[in-house]
């Protein structure tokens, strides 16, 4: 089994794509809007992905709500941006985030998707780049931690594994890491006290995603994803013992060709390489360069999957009504 998570090009698998996936044997898959047309189609796709590798591989998605939700109308609910929902909900924000995430988990489970790349534990700053800012839950440690726990609980109660991101903290990135490499030059103690703090509080979660950011106080030469020093900080200081995956390895924040990026992240200590764009040639390279998932990484992967439990019973209509009341009617059902 390759230490990677792969996307796929479209809404259904071709014979060639099945062959690539069967050979690559990724640990899991990730879906995007390009893969999602209707409930029946997505259910067939998740089944076909698993059939291609011959096992119940995890299927991931980014269903944060707001700008970053791969499932939307007319078949699935549209959500407020997380920061907007936090503001609208006021004192009820934690309950609102729980309900939102529990409903999202119900939608995902019906499609065969069992991992969601949420919660966001990044703290919004005045200069946080627009690609990230309204995806955050707040601008202080306590608020972000409380909301992230609520999101986690909602997902887990719905039988969906959470992936906390972007470890150890993306809020001070003032450029878009999809296009450029952010550099954070704040002092170490300031980062420890603020940006890293929610991740310490959430260190017991089963899965996390790294940040493509240089933290010069700790390693001035490499982004966290490819920095042994930063991965040691995540493991030893923040205390995260779960399954650690990269953010999308094809983002332009990272230097070098795809093979170099994959190997650098794995050498740094990431357990899994995430490759998202669905390019078949790149997928072959990523699967080979990521290497085998074995040893401690495999044990962490198995433990993460064991953390997922059957969904708890829920009255979705009642949850939707309660959420709508908390948001004063500003959510679509």
Question: Distance of CA 294 to CAs 150, 275, 297, Å?
Answer: 32, 19, 6
Is residue 133 classed as helix, strand or coil in its secondary structure?
A: helix
Establish if 333 belongs to a structural domain: no
CA torsion 89-92-95-98 (nearest 10°) is 30
Establish if 331 belongs to a structural domain: no
Can 247 be counted among the known catalytic residues?
yes
pLDDT at 333: 42
In the predicted structure, residue 179 carries a pLDDT above the cut 70: no
Other CB atoms within 10 A of residue 296 CB: 10
How far apart CA 25 and CA 41 sit, in angstroms, is 23
Can 178 be counted among the known catalytic residues?
yes
For the chain, the domain total comes to 1
Establish if 332 belongs to a structural domain: no
* Radius of gyration in angstroms for the set of CA atoms belonging to the chain, rounded to a whole number: 19
Nearby residues of 12 by Cβ (< 8 Å), 6 or more positions away: 41, 44, 45, 48
pLDDT digits (tens, 9 = 90+) for 260-309: 999 999 999 999 999 999 999 999 999 999 999 999 999 999 999 999 99
How far apart CA 313 and CA 283 sit, in angstroms, is 38
Establish if 91 belongs to a structural domain: yes
Nearby residues of 214 by Cβ (< 8 Å), 6 or more positions away: 181, 182, 183, 184, 220, 221, 222, 223, 224
Q: Is 74 left (phi over 0), alpha (psi -120 to 50) or beta?
A: alpha
Question: Distance of CA 302 to CAs 24, 243, 266, 293, 298, Å?
Answer: 19, 9, 18, 11, 6
pTM above 0.85, yes or no: yes
Establish if 195 belongs to a structural domain: yes
253 burial type by CB count under 10 A (0-12 exposed, 13-18 middle, 19+ buried) = buried
Which of the following is catalytic: 247, 248, 271, 275? 247
Establish if 318 belongs to a structural domain: yes
Sign (positive/negative) of CA torsion 169, 233, 222, 297? negative
Structural domain including 129 reads 2-326
The angle that helices 82-89 and 93-109 make with each other, rounded to 10 degrees, is: 140
Establish if 290 belongs to a structural domain: yes
Residue found by looking up tokens 């959430």 in the block? 202
pLDDT digits (tens, 9 = 90+) for 15-67: 999 999 999 999 999 999 999 999 999 999 999 999 999 999 999 999 999 99
CATH number at residue 263: 3.20.20.300
**CA neighbor of 121 nearest in space, from 239, 220, 237, 202:** 202
Is residue 280 classed as helix, strand or coil in its secondary structure?
A: helix
In the predicted structure, residue 332 carries a pLDDT above the cut 80: no
Region 61-88: mean pLDDT is 96
pLDDT at 127: 80
How far apart CA 132 and CA 173 sit, in angstroms, is 9
Which of the following is catalytic: 48, 153, 178, 186? 178
């Amino acid at each position: 089994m390759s230490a990677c998570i792969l996307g796929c090009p479209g809404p259904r698998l071709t014979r060639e794509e099945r062959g690539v996936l069967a050979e690559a044997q990724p640990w899991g898959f990730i879906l995007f809007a390009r893969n999602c047309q209707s409930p029946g189609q997505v259910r067939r796709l998740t089944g076909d992905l698993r059939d291609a590798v011959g096992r119940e591989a995890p299927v991931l998605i980014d269903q944060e709500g707001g700008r970053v939700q791969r499932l939307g109308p007319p078949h699935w609910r549209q959500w407020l941006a997380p920061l907007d929902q936090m503001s609208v909900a006021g004192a009820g924000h934690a309950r609102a985030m729980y309900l939102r995430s529990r409903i999202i988990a119900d939608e995902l489970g019906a499609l065969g998707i069992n991992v969601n790349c949420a919660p966001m534990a990044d703290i919004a700053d005045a200069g946080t780049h627009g690609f990230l800012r309204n995806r955050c839950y707040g601008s202080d440690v306590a608020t972000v931690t409380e909301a992230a726990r609520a999101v986690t609980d909602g997902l887990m109660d719905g039988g969906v594994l959470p992936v906390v991101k972007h470890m150890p903290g993306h809020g001070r990135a003032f450029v878009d890491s999809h296009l450029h490499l952010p550099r954070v030059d704040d002092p170490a103690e300031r980062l420890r006290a603020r940006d890293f703090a929610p991740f310490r509080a959430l260190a017991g979660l089963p899965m996390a995603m790294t940040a493509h950011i240089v933290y010069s106080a700790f390693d001035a030469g490499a982004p966290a994803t490819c920095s042994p020093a930063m991965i040691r900080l995540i493991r030893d200081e923040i205390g995260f013992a779960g399954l650690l995956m990269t953010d999308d390895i094809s983002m332009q924040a990272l230097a070098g060709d795809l093979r170099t990026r994959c190997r650098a992240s794995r050498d740094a200590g990431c357990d899994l390489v995430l490759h998202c764009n669905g390019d078949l040639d790149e997928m072959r390279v990523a699967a080979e360069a990521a290497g085998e998932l074995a040893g401690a990484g495999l044990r962490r992967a198995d433990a993460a999957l064991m953390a997922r439990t059957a969904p708890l019973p829920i009255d979705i209509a009642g949850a939707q009504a309660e959420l709508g009341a908390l948001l004063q009617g500003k959510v679509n059902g």
